[in-house]
């Protein structure tokens, strides 16, 4: 009898079934990152993080079939995808010290940064509003402030203290509309159900399973994430057990479990990747999502500008500049040095002035810089 003919060639094995004389044997060759369990039939995950921390300099995150390195706030993965390196928030002294942030010198520190005043800085002589933003100080008229939240991607809000976009916790309001469990994620959230329930088609309500005992033996096969991403999977919350070092025990793909695609710093999710383990042992949901590297912000500076004094002007003239083309928010994400050049129209004496623009992506923190001269003749 060829036992391997059952279940489309898998027989009683979770992965590969090899028929032998009067018997059979199972292997897990088709599921990388797994090995044959002690029962001789199922495949169990190999925790790569137990050996040399998976080669990670900081946190190693084990998932089914693979392990990923994760960095703390203020760090990002280097090109080897294992080493966490400090993010220089003050690159070129301008990438983060905008007029909405540091009003002086930006000092980079390991994992963070700090601001220090500069003696004699012209910005200390300007009038500032309650949020520390410089005002014109001219005719006393109020300037309309932009709605910063509309400048952030969906699922994020603008933090006026830190000056960047941060994740919105949708679960903090009315449990996100979920009947049972609401799980927040970067830029989004999803609902899940207790064991013995399943998520309804509205993705919010939970239905009682009539035969929960039968489901105890049902499991979905391991999922493998697309390139540059990793999967964050959750068992039904009632079943999560505490593991060592404050973590949780490795996840099994029981009915009701959900896996979503996560992207590391410098990448964004394009499309959807959200799978739920169904009651038949098959994954249900979208899997056309992928992690795309954020591009450098676009920024085009004008060539050097020559301005001649008018006949009735002797030492100072008014210079008007066109804003450079960019694909990020001019008000929030573009830094100008000197900062008052950002007003587009300003008085300037005889001589030359070096102007620099820095565009910073609100999520990936990548930045682009350009420079030009204004010559008053």
pLDDT digits (tens, 9 = 90+) for 204-240: 999 887 655 455 567 788 777 777 888 888 765 444 4
229 plus 286 within the same structural domain: yes
What pLDDT is recorded for position 164?
67
What pLDDT is recorded for position 148?
55
278 plus 333 within the same structural domain: no
Residue 41 lies in a domain: yes
User: Above 80 in pLDDT, residue 183?
Assistant: yes
The pLDDT-based confidence of 136 (bands split at 50, 70, 90) is: very low
275 plus 310 within the same structural domain: no
Range of the domain at 8: 3-45
Cα 253 to Cα 261: distance, rounded to the nearest angstrom: 15
Lowest mean pLDDT among 124-138, 183-197, 249-263, 339-353: 124-138
What pLDDT is recorded for position 140?
45
Residue 245 lies in a domain: no
3-state secondary structure of 216: coil
Residue 238, phi then psi, degrees to nearest 5: -65, -15
What pLDDT is recorded for position 259?
87
Proportion of the chain above pLDDT 90, given as a percent: 9
Handedness of CA 309, 311, 317, 319 (dihedral sign): negative
12 plus 103 within the same structural domain: no
Helices and strands (H and E) in the chain: how many:
2, 30
pLDDT digits (tens, 9 = 90+) for 237-267: 444 433 333 333 344 577 788 888 888 877 8
Residue 153 lies in a domain: no
User: Above 60 in pLDDT, residue 133?
Assistant: no
82 plus 26 within the same structural domain: no
Domain count, the chain: 4
Residue 233 lies in a domain: yes
User: Above 60 in pLDDT, residue 368?
Assistant: yes
What pLDDT is recorded for position 238?
40
User: Above 80 in pLDDT, residue 108?
Assistant: no
User: Above 70 in pLDDT, residue 1?
Assistant: yes
Residue 128 lies in a domain: no
Residue 143 lies in a domain: no
- Evaluate whether 3 touches 21 at the Cβ level (below 8 Å): no
94 plus 192 within the same structural domain: no
pLDDT digits (tens, 9 = 90+) for 16-28: 999 888 889 999 9
What pLDDT is recorded for position 179?
93
- Evaluate whether 49 touches 59 at the Cβ level (below 8 Å): no
The pLDDT-based confidence of 162 (bands split at 50, 70, 90) is: low
The pLDDT-based confidence of 327 (bands split at 50, 70, 90) is: confident
User: Above 50 in pLDDT, residue 125?
Assistant: no
220 plus 198 within the same structural domain: yes
Residue 127 lies in a domain: no
39 plus 61 within the same structural domain: no
Average of per-residue pLDDT across 322-337 = 85
User: Above 70 in pLDDT, residue 77?
Assistant: yes
Residue 76 lies in a domain: yes
9 plus 63 within the same structural domain: no
Average of per-residue pLDDT across 142-149 = 51
230 plus 256 within the same structural domain: yes
pTM: 0.33
Higher-confidence residue: 175 or 110? 175
Q: What is the CATH number of the domain that holds 194?
A: 2.10.70.10
- Evaluate whether 359 touches 326 at the Cβ level (below 8 Å): yes
User: Above 90 in pLDDT, residue 74?
Assistant: no
What pLDDT is recorded for position 53?
92
111 plus 93 within the same structural domain: yes
Q: What is the CATH number of the domain that holds 26?
A: 2.10.25.10
Cα 313 to Cα 213: distance, rounded to the nearest angstrom: 90
259 plus 183 within the same structural domain: yes
């Amino acid at each position: 009898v060829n036992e391997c003919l059952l279940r489309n060639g898998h027989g009683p094995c979770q992965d590969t079934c090899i028929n032998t004389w009067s018997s059979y044997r199972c292997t897990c060759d088709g599921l990388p990152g797994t090995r044959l369990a002690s029962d001789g039939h199922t495949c169990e995950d190999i925790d790569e993080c137990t050996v040399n921390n998976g080669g990670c300099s900081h946190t190693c995150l084990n998932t089914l079939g693979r392990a990923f390195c994760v960095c703390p706030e203020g760090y990002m993965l280097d090109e080897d995808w294992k080493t966490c390196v400090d993010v220089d928030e003050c690159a070129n002294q301008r990438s983060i010290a905008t007029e909405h942030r540091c009003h002086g010198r930006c000092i980079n520190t390991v994992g963070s940064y700090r601001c220090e005043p500069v003696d004699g800085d012209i910005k200390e002589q300007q009038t500032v509003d309650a949020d520390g933003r410089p005002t014109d100080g001219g005719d006393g008229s109020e300037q309309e402030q932009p709605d910063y939240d509309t400048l952030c991607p969906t699922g994020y809000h603008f933090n006026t203290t830190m000056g960047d976009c941060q994740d919105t916790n949708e679960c903090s309001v009315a449990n996100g509309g979920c009947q049972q469990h609401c799980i927040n994620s970067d830029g989004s959230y999803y609902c899940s159900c207790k064991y013995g329930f399943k998520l309804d088609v509205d993705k919010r309500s939970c239905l009682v399973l009539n035969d929960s005992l039968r489901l105890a033996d049902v499991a979905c096969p391991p999922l493998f994430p697309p390139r540059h991403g990793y999967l964050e999977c959750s068992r039904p919350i009632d079943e999560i057990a505490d593991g060592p070092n404050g973590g949780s025990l490795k996840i099994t793909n029981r009915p009701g479990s959900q896996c979503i695609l996560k992207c590391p710093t410098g990448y964004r999710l394009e499309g959807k990747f959200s799978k739920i383990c169904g009651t038949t042992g098959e994954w249900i949901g979208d899997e056309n999502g992928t992690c795309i590297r954020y591009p450098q912000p676009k920024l085009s500076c004008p060539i050097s500008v020559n301005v001649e004094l008018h006949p009735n002007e002797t030492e100072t003239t008014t210079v008007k500049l066109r804003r450079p083309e960019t694909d990020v928010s001019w008000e929030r994400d573009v830094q100008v040095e000197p900062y008052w050049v950002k007003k587009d129209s300003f008085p300037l004496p005889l001589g030359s002035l070096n102007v620099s623009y820095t565009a910073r992506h609100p999520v990936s923190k990548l930045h682009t810089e350009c420079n030009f001269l204004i010559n008053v003749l």
